[in-house]
């Protein structure tokens, strides 16, 4: 029998199926007239959809890979002492963009990543409201699946205008300074806003040139989409331009940039970020 965790297209398909099932669980709540919202200790919102998707993914992964642990945004009681010993694990955000979900603008995602030695080696990002799935693994490639059709995706060279995608609600000031520096270097910049990990997927698919995130996120917010970006030829780097790493004691990510074109084309941004 083959190792069930061999990074294969079959594994990617199985993870995509689990993410799609979780998306269906989310959409049953989305369709209701009223969505009940609670608030977690850090004041971030939590809905029945987050919990349903968490349970669906948790059961799906446990059946598929019983020996591989999972850390989800909605996991409880998993200590650093435990997770520091994991050789590999599933890192999951069952519903990223909960605020977008509550606002019903469709820009929310289901995120499942496989982390090995601190790196996201495989990832699936599913968009329940449109049925689109982004999936990738460095060893295999990156794809976008829509209406049952899967097409290979690839980052693009810097476009004209440069397309900068940013959060709807986080980290605007520093982004203005970056936008200025980019327009001086490459010409006009078009800025669009988007919720959730979809921003990274737009860079992976060659529909945006960069996503600067100069505000907090957690490891589960970015891992799956980073695997897709990497597989599509892009990078996700911190403000010192080093790749983002996972399985840290502190689950907060540093501020980061998602870049489609090669890193060398963007090295001038390091100065802006230092100021």
Ligand X SMILES: Nc1ncnc2c1ncn2[C@@H]1O[C@H](COP(=O)(O)O)[C@@H](OP(=O)(O)O)[C@H]1O
Q: Please give the residue ranges that form the binding site for ligand X (CB under 6 A).
A: 44, 73, 93, 96-98, 167-170, 195-196, 216-218, 221, 252
195 makes contact, choosing from ligand X, Mg ion, none, with CB < 5 to 8 Å by partner type, with: ligand X
Q: Within 137-166, which residues bind Mg ion (CB under 5 A)?
A: none
Residue 221 binds Mg ion, judged by CB under 5 A: yes
Pairing between β-strand 70-72 and β-strand 88-96 as defined by DSSP bridges: parallel
Q: CB-wise, 74 or 209, nearer to ligand X?
A: 74
Rounded least distance, CB 90 to Mg ion, Å: 15
CB of 12 to ligand X, least distance (A): 22
Q: How far is the CB of 9 from ligand X (least distance, A)?
A: 28
96 among annotated binding-site residues: yes
Lookup result for tokens 């331009």: 241
Residue 98 labeled ligand binder: yes
43 is in an annotated binding site: no
To the question of whether residue 31 is assigned a binding role by annotation, the answer is: no
Instruction: Based on the shown chain and the rule CB under 5 A, indicate whether residue 219 belongs to the binding site for Mg ion.
Output: no
Give 138 or 199: the residue with its C-beta nearer to ligand X: 199
What is the smallest separation between the CB atom of 98 and ligand X, expressed in angstroms?
4
Neighbours of 41 (CB within 10 A): 5
Report whether 120 contacts 224 (CB < 8 A).
yes
275 labelled ligand-binding: no
With residues binned 3-state (H G I as helix, E B as strand, rest as coil), the percentages for the chain, rounded to 5, are 35, 30, 35
Q: Which is nearer to Mg ion, 145 or 219 (CB)?
A: 219
Minimum Å gap between C-beta 71 and Mg ion is 13
Cα separation values, 57 from 143, 214, 231, Å: 21, 29, 23
187 annotated to a ligand binding site: no
C-alpha span between 43 and 189 (Å, rounded): 34
Q: Which does 32 bind (CB under 5 to 8 A by kind): Mg ion, ligand X, none?
A: none
Q: Answer left, alpha or beta for residue 172, where phi above 0 means left and psi between -120 and 50 means alpha.
A: alpha
Residue 235: φ, ψ to 5°: -140, 155
Nearer to Mg ion, 73 or 119 (CB): 73
- Residue 170's binding partner among ligand X, Mg ion, none (Cβ under 5 to 8 angstroms by kind) is ligand X
CB of 220 or CB of 266, closer to Mg ion: 220
Q: Tell me: is residue 221 an annotated ligand-binding position.
A: yes
Q: How far is the CB of 151 from ligand X (least distance, A)?
A: 25
Rounded Cα gap, residues 163 and 131, in angstroms: 24
- Which of the listed partners (Mg ion, ligand X, none) does 55 bind, with a CB threshold of 5 to 8 Å by partner kind? none
3-state secondary structure of 238: strand
**β-pairing, 141-146 with 132-137?**
antiparallel
Cα(78)–Cα(56) distance, integer angstroms: 19
Nearer to ligand X by Cβ, of 11 and 223: the residue is 223
CA separation, residue 82 to residues 61, 63, 103, 134, 253 (Å): 19, 21, 36, 30, 20
Residue pair 242/235 in contact by the 8 Å Cβ criterion: no
As annotated, the binding site includes: 73, 93, 95-98, 221
């Amino acid at each position: 029998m083959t190792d069930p965790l061999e990074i294969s297209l079959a594994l990617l398909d199985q993870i995509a199926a689990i993410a799609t099932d979780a998306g269906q669980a989310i959409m049953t709540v989305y369709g209701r007239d009223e969505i009940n919202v609670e608030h977690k200790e850090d004041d971030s919102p939590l809905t029945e959809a987050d919990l349903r998707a968490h349970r669906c993914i948790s059961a799906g992964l446990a059946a598929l890979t019983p020996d591989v642990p999972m850390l989800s945004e909605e996991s409880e009681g998993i200590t650093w002492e435990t997770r520091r010993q994991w050789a590999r694990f599933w890192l999951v955000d069952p519903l990223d963009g909960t605020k977008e979900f509550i606002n019903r603008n469709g820009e929310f995602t289901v995120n499942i990543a496989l982390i090995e030695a601190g790196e996201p080696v495989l990832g699936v990002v599913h968009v329940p409201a449109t049925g689109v799935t982004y999936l990738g693994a460095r060893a295999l490639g990156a794809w976008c699946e829509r209406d049952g059709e899967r097409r290979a995706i690839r980052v693009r060279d810097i476009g004209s205008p440069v397309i900068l995608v940013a959060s709807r609600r986080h980290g605007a000031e520093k982004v203005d300074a970056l936008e200025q520096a980019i327009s001086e270097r490459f010409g006009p910049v078009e800025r669009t806003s988007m919720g959730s990990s979809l921003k990274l997927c737009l860079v992976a698919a060659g529909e945006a040139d960069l996503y600067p995130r100069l505000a907090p996120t957690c490891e589960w917010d970015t891992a799956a989409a980073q695997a897709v970006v990497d597989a599509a030829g892009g990078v996700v780097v911190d403000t010192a331009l080093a790749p983002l790493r996972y399985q840290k004691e502190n689950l907060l990510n540093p501020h980061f940039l998602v870049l489609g074109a090669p890193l060398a084309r963007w090295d001038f941004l390091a100065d802006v970020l230092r100021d």
